[in-house]
Structure 1
Amino acid sequence: MPEPTPGAFQVQGPQEPVVAMLGGEAELPCILTPRQNIKYMKISWTQYLPSQVVHLYEDGKDKPEKVMGEYLGRTQLVKNAMHKGIMTLKILNVQPSDNRQYRCVIQYGSFYSEAVIELKVAALGSHPQLLVEVTKSSQLRLECKSEGWFPQPKVQWMDSEAGEIPAESETHTQDKGGLFHVTTALLLRETSQKNLTCSFWNSVLNQKKEQQFSTAALGSHPQFHVEVTKSRQLQLECKSEGWFPQPKVQWMDSEETEIPAESETHTQDKGGLFHVTTALLLREASQKKLTCSIWNPVLNQKKEEQLFTTGAFQVHGPQEPVVATLGSETELPCSLLPTQNVKNMKISWTRSLPSQVVHLYEDGSDKPEEAMEEYLGRTELVKNFMDKGIVLLRILSVQPSDNGQYRCAFQDGSFYSGAVIELKVAALGSHPQFHVEVFESRQTQVVCKSEGWFPQPKVQWMDSEGGEIPAEFETHTQDNGGLFHVTTSLLLKEASRKNLTCSIWNPVLNQKKEEQLSIAGQFSLSTHCAPKSGFDAHSPWRW
């Protein structure tokens, strides 16, 4: 390509606008005719109106200090084709504000030429979201929303024949980043249209996003959940999802007589569809056959499910807490009434939340992968008596964190029952140890310590008559393993007490550890007394 020579030239740009996606890169090309090397020419890119510098190239290099702030660090001049008279401006991280006309100017000596190039920025917004309401006058109000469009999109409601339906309202707002958010609403009679489409169209990209909606929808087949309460009543729950409009719900007995529901709730999802839950409470033997019926008044169609209550059962656990000592094994029993084989049932053991699985048995086998990490490898299901409706959960190497309530639940099809069992973990701590100190004031401080208790123990000082002596202070701390360490002290006058007992009691095991200390004669700071009964001469607390 020849070096530049004095003479007229012309700059040309693309005839059609350049389209760039929001956040992407845009390339604006300019070509010099006749073709010649432009490496040593002055090249400037400016906004068309008002004229502000987007990129400047002069004396063979870029001049970023001349660029307006919003383009700083976001433009590059592609130079690999400059010897062919081609220059391309690359704009990085395209913004809505980049949407405009640009002037590409080339100057060489007294010769000058320019071209105007249009950049169209485009962004497809979010998928439309529908909100549906039924008004008091039994009309449907549909609201359709979408966010993040550029430029402002075209919005349209259409019926099942693709015919346009005029909107009740339409609002467009623009955020700080320049993107458009659109809300459009439609009001129609509940049965006037069966299928509707809300459509958002980007005129630059010629692309659209739309959401279809059926003004009448049959929901899912009803699902039962049955539980036997402690009072031998049946708690039945019937659920179905995906209805529109809000369905009518009915319980019926074997004679097709309506039974009043205990409760009924209707919720509406983001797509406007209704989910219904209805519950019934009845005596275990009062009804043998029940029907849960859910009806769509627009389509005049229903879905229903029958339930035979003769398969109901109840789970029982021990009435009193199960007590286990720290580090040992324990078994939590559950039994089914009436007695039946539970081998093919789903059996779960959980803590306070259903998601806190301790042990799961399903499809005839244990599912250790579902258990909480702290119980992994520490639980076994004793299956010897499953044919008699009895299961036992064995917990190995009992920890303080195992202390609490457990729920044992059986499920067989729609029938479900559970029982709560309390496990009380207990640990006897170390034998109490004394530390005695005599002050110049002729008072004696006696400190008693013991470690490794669970749960928190009860602490008591007693005199030789078995009467309780109030402690000067008492502290309880808990280590990382959950065990309690206790320290208690007494402050005595020199000869006020001759014999003392420090007693530490575990309320779960109803067992205690105690130590006696005999104080003979008068103490002084220089006195050395041999330890009495229960006072360890090798203890680190000796004085």
Structure 2
Amino acid sequence: MVDFPGYNLSGVIASFLFILLTMKQSDDFRVIGPAHPILARVGEDVLLTCQLLPKRTAMHMEVRWYRSEPSTPVFMYRDGVEVTEMQMEEYKGRVEWIEDGIAEGSVALKIYNIQPSDNGQYWCHFQDGNSCGETNLLLKVAGLGSAPNIHMEGSGESGVQLVCTTRGWFPEPQVYWEDIQGEKLLAMSEHHIQDEDGLFYVETTLVVKNASAESVSCFIYNPVLSEEKEAVISIPEKLQAELASLKVIGPSQPILVRVGEDIQLTCYLSPKANAWSMEVRWVRSHRYPAVHVYKDGDHVAGEQMAEYRGRTVLVSDTIDEGRLTLQILSARPSDDGRYRCLFEKDDVYQEASLDLKVVGLGSSPLITVEGRKDGEMQLMCSSDGWFPQPHVEWRDMQGKTIPSSSEALTQGSHGLFHVETLLWVTNNSTVNVTCSISIPFLGEEKRATFSLSESRMTFLWKTLLILGLLLAVAVGLLRRRS
């Protein structure tokens, strides 16, 4: 079987069953489509066509364009009108039915503003009473992205590090480096990230050990369009750039912040230099998408990671000295980890790393009696709202650890941990037990103590209270009868 992009086997089976159960293949006509795949660039409009043979009017037929499921069509035409009730949501308002040739059985569907998700197989289905015919056609979507940009980090012990970045490609492009003689160079790393629109961002890193090398090129190639884009960098020229002589300094110790508090990520240039004309970027693993990007005096919202949108504020009061602080509002467990602060000018950048530790000190533990059997009782200690994964233990009166019978840590949708730990103790014991939950590197803990003797006294008082109430009720009933 030929493997086409977007080919959906389950959809083909569903289509076959749909035809088999509801109608019979027509002996009077067949449907033909384009002999070759249709190529469309991202953002363009495309025309999908199909034709009845022999030619005949399709005015009173049902015509259905669909992807994998006939029941949710891209477009449906019946008895001269468009049927929109079952239409796929992503095609509403994006398709136009063209019926100029319908008297001869020729129909077309125009799709506006082609997107990567439109890539793949389509079916054109005609139905006349109980007879039907259909054909499939392949739409290949391609996007030629931005020209690559090569950024250089100042030379270090391992050599000069070059990072080539580009956006807006579809399908996933091919990437390679070449030296001035056209020889291929081996990249140190390569990352492809598909954004919310389905387009690919590419980031590839090359280390050039010989800093005196004249230049290197980065090529991005689209295999569908057979087109490529190139960027060239002159290493000696970039090494003389202003920023190559500067360093970016960040905190020397990890930044500690509690869940719900605001985060402050500060970095600065050394020696002091005005950063107004520079690009400053806070990132996690890759340069794109970013936590926050400052460029040309403003925030570049289009490059921001979804989870940081509306949560970042740039404090730039001392930007003329090269010092900037990024404030991230209301810390979450997902914010925990490493950040990089990049200052860039003329495609040369320097960076500093910042380690952020997010902590959540959960609720005070609650100890409850879960069951009793064979002279023992089972205690459960539970607590919510911890991050990272806490350390849990039971202790006796002397502070010695008591092994638990079981322990469960579950992480909720907000990333915080819920703790449950069980302990079996004998009913005749008078020893107190303590449940302790802590974040070791924070040096803080929360604990609860359970006294078995107090538990028995509480149980005794409850029993006496219940007996007293029953006795009072009984006395009241006897008095009423007398």
User: TM-score, structure 2 length as denominator?
Assistant: 0.52
Aligned partner of 2:422 in structure 1 is 489
The aligned amino acid for 2:298 is S
Conservation of the 8 A alpha-carbon contact between 1:439 and 1:525 = no
Aligned partner of 1:291 in structure 2 is 214
The aligned amino acid for 2:395 is M
- The alpha-carbon distance between structure 1 residues 344 and 232, as it changes in their structure 2 partners (threshold 3 A), is farther
Q: CA deviation at 1:500?
A: 0.8
Show CA shifts across 1:385-421 (max 9, x none): 3233222211111122222222222221120233332
Q: CA deviation at 1:362?
A: 0.4
The separation in 2 between residues aligned to 1:393 and 1:457, in whole angstroms, is 29
Aligned partner of 2:152 in structure 1 is 226
Conservation of the 8 A alpha-carbon contact between 1:438 and 1:525 = no
Identify which of 374, 379, 388 aligns with 2:312.
379
- Higher strand fraction: Structure 1 or Structure 2? 1
Q: CA deviation at 1:333?
A: 1.9
Structure 2 residue 263 is matched with structure 1 residue 330: yes
Conservation of the 8 A alpha-carbon contact between 1:229 and 1:314 = no
The separation in 1 between residues aligned to 2:404 and 2:454, in whole angstroms, is 22
Q: CA deviation at 1:327?
A: 1.1
The higher-RCO structure (CA 8 Å, 6+ apart) is: 2
Q: CA deviation at 1:453?
A: 1.3
Conservation of the 8 A alpha-carbon contact between 2:406 and 2:421 = yes
Aligned partner of 1:172 in structure 2 is none
Structure 2 residue 291 is matched with structure 1 residue 358: yes
Structure 2 residue 380 is matched with structure 1 residue 424: no
Show CA shifts across 1:474-503 (max 9, x none): 122233322212111211122345111110
The aligned amino acid for 2:214 is T
SS state at 1:349 partner: strand
Structure 2 residue 463 is matched with structure 1 residue 506: no
The separation in 1 between residues aligned to 2:187 and 2:370, in whole angstroms, is 71
The separation in 2 between residues aligned to 1:495 and 1:99, in whole angstroms, is 95
Structure 2 residue 381 is matched with structure 1 residue 448: yes
Unaligned residue ranges in structure 2 (runs of 5+): 1-23, 32-48, 57-103, 108-133, 138-145, 167-175, 189-203, 218-231, 464-482
Structure 2 residue 413 is matched with structure 1 residue 480: yes
> Quick one: percent identity of the two aligned structures?
33
- The alpha-carbon distance between structure 1 residues 451 and 511, as it changes in their structure 2 partners (threshold 3 A), is same
Conservation of the 8 A alpha-carbon contact between 2:275 and 2:322 = yes
Aligned partner of 2:239 in structure 1 is 309
Show CA shifts across 1:423-450 (max 9, x none): 2111111111221256252212222121
- The alpha-carbon distance between structure 1 residues 229 and 327, as it changes in their structure 2 partners (threshold 3 A), is farther
The aligned amino acid for 1:94 is Q
The separation in 2 between residues aligned to 1:343 and 1:519, in whole angstroms, is 67
SS state at 1:520 partner: helix
1:202-213 matches, cutoff 5 A = none
- The alpha-carbon distance between structure 1 residues 99 and 249, as it changes in their structure 2 partners (threshold 3 A), is farther
SS state at 1:481 partner: coil
- The alpha-carbon distance between structure 1 residues 222 and 510, as it changes in their structure 2 partners (threshold 3 A), is closer
Unaligned residue ranges in structure 1 (runs of 5+): 1-66, 75-91, 101-119, 124-175, 180-219, 241-245, 252-259, 266-276, 295-302, 531-543
Conservation of the 8 A alpha-carbon contact between 1:323 and 1:425 = yes
Identify which of 395, 399, 409 aligns with 2:342.
409
Aligned partner of 2:79 in structure 1 is none
Q: CA deviation at 1:320?
A: 3.2
The separation in 1 between residues aligned to 2:455 and 2:147, in whole angstroms, is 88
Structure 2 residue 332 is matched with structure 1 residue 399: yes
1:453-464 matches, cutoff 5 A = 453-464=386-397
Conservation of the 8 A alpha-carbon contact between 1:462 and 1:502 = yes
The aligned amino acid for 1:281 is V
- The alpha-carbon distance between structure 1 residues 475 and 339, as it changes in their structure 2 partners (threshold 3 A), is same
SS state at 1:307 partner: helix
The separation in 2 between residues aligned to 1:372 and 1:521, in whole angstroms, is 54
Structure of larger gyration radius: 1
SS state at 2:380 partner: strand
Conservation of the 8 A alpha-carbon contact between 1:261 and 1:278 = no
Structure 2 residue 94 is matched with structure 1 residue 94: no
- The alpha-carbon distance between structure 1 residues 230 and 485, as it changes in their structure 2 partners (threshold 3 A), is farther
The separation in 2 between residues aligned to 1:434 and 1:178, in whole angstroms, is 65
- The alpha-carbon distance between structure 1 residues 523 and 348, as it changes in their structure 2 partners (threshold 3 A), is same
Aligned partner of 2:89 in structure 1 is none
SS state at 2:293 partner: strand
The separation in 1 between residues aligned to 2:136 and 2:281, in whole angstroms, is 54
The separation in 2 between residues aligned to 1:321 and 1:357, in whole angstroms, is 20
The Cα RMSD (Å) is: 4.7
The aligned amino acid for 1:307 is E
- The alpha-carbon distance between structure 1 residues 359 and 416, as it changes in their structure 2 partners (threshold 3 A), is same
- Higher helix fraction: Structure 1 or Structure 2? 2
SS state at 2:237 partner: strand
The separation in 2 between residues aligned to 1:232 and 1:73, in whole angstroms, is 66
Conservation of the 8 A alpha-carbon contact between 2:158 and 2:209 = no
Identify which of 208, 217, 226 aligns with 1:281.
208
The separation in 1 between residues aligned to 2:255 and 2:367, in whole angstroms, is 34
The separation in 2 between residues aligned to 1:466 and 1:351, in whole angstroms, is 42
The aligned amino acid for 2:319 is M
The separation in 1 between residues aligned to 2:322 and 2:266, in whole angstroms, is 11
The separation in 2 between residues aligned to 1:518 and 1:247, in whole angstroms, is 70
Q: CA deviation at 1:461?
A: 0.3
